[in-house]
Amino acid sequence: MAAAITLLLKVLVTSVVVNSTLLERCHGDSFIDLDVFGAKVLNVIATPVENYSTTLMGVQHANLNFCNVTVTYTHPGTADRVNVFACFPLTGWNGRFLGRGGRGFITGVDAGVLAPVTAQGFAAASTDGGHTLHKQSAETWALNSPGNINWNLLEDYAYKALGDMTLIGKQLTSQFYSSPPKYSYWAGCSTGGRQGLMFAQKYPELYDGILALAPAINLDKFVVAEYFVQHVMNRVGHYPLPCELDAINKAAVEACDDMDGVEDGVISLPSLCRFDPNTLVGNDFECDGRTQKFTKAGTVAANAFWASPINPVEREKWYWYGVNHGTPFNGMAGTKCANSSGTSCLGAPFVVAEEFIRLFLAKDPDYATTKMTDDEYFSMFHRATQEYSSMLGTSDPDLSGFKSRGGKMITWHGLADELIHVNGSSNYYKQVMDLDKNVADYYRYFEAPGVNHCFGGIGPRPEEDETLAALMAWVENGTAPETLTARSQAGDGTVRELCLYPKTLVYTGGAPKKPASWQCQ
């Protein structure tokens, strides 16, 4: 597998010599008769970009040469205005099209994010979905007026603009290179992961291979559950210091770290962790140079974070999963304090969760989520499923259309994801498996111990380039990945091979940083 990945990565390296024919072709008039049912193209702008440099995710990319294309269109009768962004390498096109996904309430990415993949030879495209890019908020577009959802823009965000983007992007690619792409791939994490699964479910003919990482599937369920810890803190009226929550997390890791056979700061088997934060109450911890004591309120917040949402009236009713031990609290359970004494703290909820409840469920921009009663909060679960499951849930386990067309899909999810409950992904994979015992023939799921949402955390993380190369080897050569290579995010040389679900990594002896010291069991 490693040799196949290395070979594919070498194939993707491009020359720095600009193709003069493509350079001359990079103008709006070169792209004509773009045809997408239900859409009307308003404008096409194309500009050649040479010797472009950018830094993305801490990695510097220099001497990029590409054609930067923006297509603006509308769906007549809806008053929307959607942009498709595309970047085409001016030399060394590898014959492949790559669609890129968004995050949170942001539908896609712009040319600045697309440009680096042109260095690997991809023709790449994304979309703004008719919404403002770079703003993690739906405040400006969710409602036409209080009580009235902007269903057209929500539909664009959920799936419609994404299907349009792919069709437009492939047509642009064919016209620019005078040849259609041989293979088409999708890559995205979080919202981009949800979008990838959406393609497999709703548009199975559009992509040959899909990377759907840490996917925001079951959005109608998990996003309400994301707010549970905040709701609990609002109800008890106490918000622990961030450093207290950090200290609780550290204690949980110390208690459950060695369950996989080695102490490395990572809980690899979180389902076995039974740490009780009540044992900490009254003990000391350090916070910004001051000695503090663990509080009962901190315990309440921690238990709400790790547990499934619990209704005080219907305690046996299950709503959604909790979060694994070893996961940072700052995603769903964030707090902010005016001082280190803990006397002036408030909740700091994840914006997507708070806005989904306020804008899409209450449909009122002035709705006070901090004042919700238990009845109001738990009623939101039913409302969310009733109103948004078919549009945003993206949890249909029937992938027969994707399978029949020969598609291949890889998902990995960090076991310490602080924003999306990882058990939602494993549960979805089980549902697909229940329908098709041969699911691994076309869809493979892996879990990454110690990895936070998409990136971050102390655990080794699969690099996108290598994972994409593994997907390409599967699609184009029939070499299915038995494991996914994950590398240390701290640069300490740790390498591990993540296991195909439901197997998990167990330490078998030797140097813990070496993959040979671990086995999938």
Q: Is 318 helix (H, G, I), strand (E, B) or coil?
A: coil
Residue 9 within any structural domain of the chain: no
Residue 403 within any structural domain of the chain: yes
Say yes or no: 294 and 402 in one domain.
Answer: no
What distance in Å separates the CA atoms of residue 21 and residue 295, rounded to the nearest whole number? 69
Asked about 126 being catalytic, the answer comes back as no
Asked about 421 being catalytic, the answer comes back as no
Say yes or no: 379 and 259 in one domain.
Answer: yes
The residue from 375, 390, 405 where one domain ends is 390
Say yes or no: 172 and 192 in one domain.
Answer: no
Residues whose CB is less than 8 angstroms from the CB of residue 519 and which lie 6 or more positions away in sequence, other chains included = 505, 506, 508
Say yes or no: 151 and 51 in one domain.
Answer: yes
Say yes or no: 146 and 172 in one domain.
Answer: yes
Q: What is the DSSP letter of 365?
A: T
Instruction: State the pTM of this model.
Output: 0.94
Residue 97 within any structural domain of the chain: no
Q: Edge-to-edge strand order for the sheet containing 123-127?
A: 40-56, 59-74, 82-89, 123-127, 96-100, 183-189, 209-213, 408-414, 443-448
Task: 35-42: list long-range contacts, CB under 8 Å, 24+ apart.
Answer: 35/171, 36/73, 36/164, 36/167, 36/168, 38/75, 38/76, 39/73, 39/74, 39/75, 39/82, 39/164, 40/73, 40/74, 40/75, 40/76, 41/71, 41/72, 41/73, 42/72, 42/73, 42/74, 42/81
Q: Could you say which residues of the chain have pLDDT below 50?
A: 1-16
Residue 2 within any structural domain of the chain: no
Residue 3 within any structural domain of the chain: no
User: In this structure, are residues 53 and 62 in contact, taking their beta carbons and an 8 Å threshold?
Assistant: yes
Say yes or no: 187 and 277 in one domain.
Answer: no
> For residue 467, what are the domain limits?
182-218+394-521
Position 61 scores a pLDDT of 80
Say how many Å lie between the first and final Cα of the chain, rounded.
Answer: 20
Say yes or no: 229 and 369 in one domain.
Answer: yes
Say yes or no: 261 and 365 in one domain.
Answer: yes
Burial 391-405 (b: 16+ CB within 10 A, else e): bbbbbbbebeebbee
Residue 13 within any structural domain of the chain: no
Position 17 scores a pLDDT of 57
For the chain, the domain total comes to 3
The residue from 359, 390, 421 where one domain ends is 390
Q: Which of 190, 268, 395, 426 is catalytic?
A: 190
Q: How far is CA 360 from CA 320, 322, 373, in A?
A: 19, 23, 18
Say yes or no: 253 and 351 in one domain.
Answer: yes
Position 97 scores a pLDDT of 98
Say yes or no: 150 and 234 in one domain.
Answer: no
Record the tokens describing residue 427, joined without a space. 């549960």
Q: Which of 110, 257, 264, 417 is catalytic?
A: 417
Residue 98 within any structural domain of the chain: no
Position 52 scores a pLDDT of 87
Residue 11 within any structural domain of the chain: no
The CATH number of whichever domain residue 491 belongs to comes to: 3.40.50
Say yes or no: 278 and 326 in one domain.
Answer: yes
Say yes or no: 239 and 370 in one domain.
Answer: yes
Asked about 417 being catalytic, the answer comes back as yes
Q: How many CB atoms lie within 10 A of CB 236?
A: 13
